[in-house]
Amino acid sequence: MKAYYRLGLSVSGGPMKRRLMDILACPICKYHPLELTVKKEDEKEVLEGTIRCPKCNIDYPIEDGIPNMLPPEK
Ligand SMILES: [Zn+2]
């Protein structure tokens, strides 16, 4: 599961570019589009922030430019 999401994201562009929001869907409910909150970014990518699924009420963190779209551990 973990490998699957990491691979999917690296294939689709690696670092968290804003345009990644066009293709990202919630890994749990497949909702799209998700809500991006940016805490820190440079001219190319979002470095820190959260990607929120309003349906699941879950925030997926973006750390060091890498979005962590793993479902929270239960
Ligand atoms: Zn969801």
Report residue 72 as tokens: 């929270």
Listing DSSP states for 5-72 in one string gives HHHHHHHTTSS--GGGGGT---TTT--SSPEEEEEEE-SS-EEEEEEEETTTTEEEEEETTEE--PPP
60 C-alpha to center of ligand 1: Å? 10
pLDDT tens-digit profile of 28-65? 999 999 999 999 999 989 999 999 999 999 999 999 99
Identify the residue with better confidence: 15 or 13.
15
Question: Please, which pLDDT band fits residue 70 given cuts at 50, 70 and 90?
Answer: confident
What 3-state class would DSSP assign to 4?
helix
28 C-alpha to center of ligand 1: Å? 5
Distances (CA, A) of 61 to 8, 70: 17, 9
> What pLDDT sits at residue 64?
93
52 C-alpha to center of ligand 1: Å? 8
Q: Is the pLDDT of residue 11 over 50?
A: no
Q: What's the predicted TM-score (pTM) here? A: 0.76
64 C-alpha to center of ligand 1: Å? 23
